[in-house]
Structures are given as C-alpha cells and as structure tokens.
Amino acid sequence: MKRALFPGSFDPITLGHYDIIKRGIKLFDEVIVAIGINADKNYMFSLEERQLFIENAFKNEPKVKVVTYEGLTIDFCKKIDAQFILRGLRNPADFEFEKAIAHTNRKLSKIETVFLLTAAKTSYISSSIVRDVIRNNGDYTVLVPDSVTIK
C-alpha cells in the first residue's frame, strides 16, 4: 500500500490544502492528514476544531484519514508505515524551505517527499492569510472548504 502523510498545522485547512489532498488521493492508496502539535504555537482554532474541519471536508473519501501527532514527522511516518510525505508548493520561497526539510528527512530516513504544485486558483491562499481575514471580519468562506465554520 502506498501511504502518504500530509503534515501541517491546518489552522485552518484552506482550499489549497484541500486541492493537494484531493490530488494526492489519485496518487496514493491512502493519504493521512497529520495535524502536528506544537506547544510553542498559538493557534486560532483548537486541535479538535481543526481535526473536525478536515474530517468533515473528506467525510465521503475513505482514502483520507485525519490524525494528530507530536515530534518529528519522519518518526511518525515510520510509526504508521507511511513511505511518502506529501507537500504542496505555492511559490519559490515554499520550494526553498520545503527542499531543505525534504533533504534532511531523506538523510535521516528513507522516506521520500512528493511535491505537488498548488493550483493557480489557490496558490495565493495560506492559513495565515485566512486567519487575518477572519480577525478582520472578512469573507473567509471563499478561501476554505465549507466545513470550516466560525462559532
């Protein structure tokens, strides 16, 4: 089974993330969306909310699983037998950052990183932009899947 881990904080999941996951399920038998837990980060949405947003977005897709994890991504990949890390690239800055992480991960393990370019229509969207739109009472709904709702 070809299993890929798609790690991130997903605070919140965006249409860009959604697109990468949808395209990833065409390439892999299973895509594990893994929400990393980082105690040093201040999140807008709770871990439970972020997990629910993703689970609801993919409730009809059996090839997508949503989990949480702590520690090194490659250690978690080994634990769940994921042979690949799936990452989306929006721009050259993303590539440079992700390339360094991918090289490090390959040096420390045999896990390959697979990069997908984001769709042109979502390449400008980031979770930090979405959070800024939300903080300023803008229409965030055009940037995220329908499952993302503000209470």
Catalytic residues: 17, 41, 90, 127
Q: Is 40 helix (H, G, I), strand (E, B) or coil?
A: coil
DSSP string, 46-91: -HHHHHHHHHHHTTT-TTEEEEEE-S-HHHHHHHHT--EEEEEE-S
Q: Residue 129: which residues within 8 A CB-CB, separation 6 or more?
A: 143
Given a contact cutoff of 8 angstroms between Cβ atoms, the answer to whether 9 and 128 are in contact is no
Q: Which H or E element spans position 104?
A: helix 92-108
Given a contact cutoff of 8 angstroms between Cβ atoms, the answer to whether 129 and 16 are in contact is no
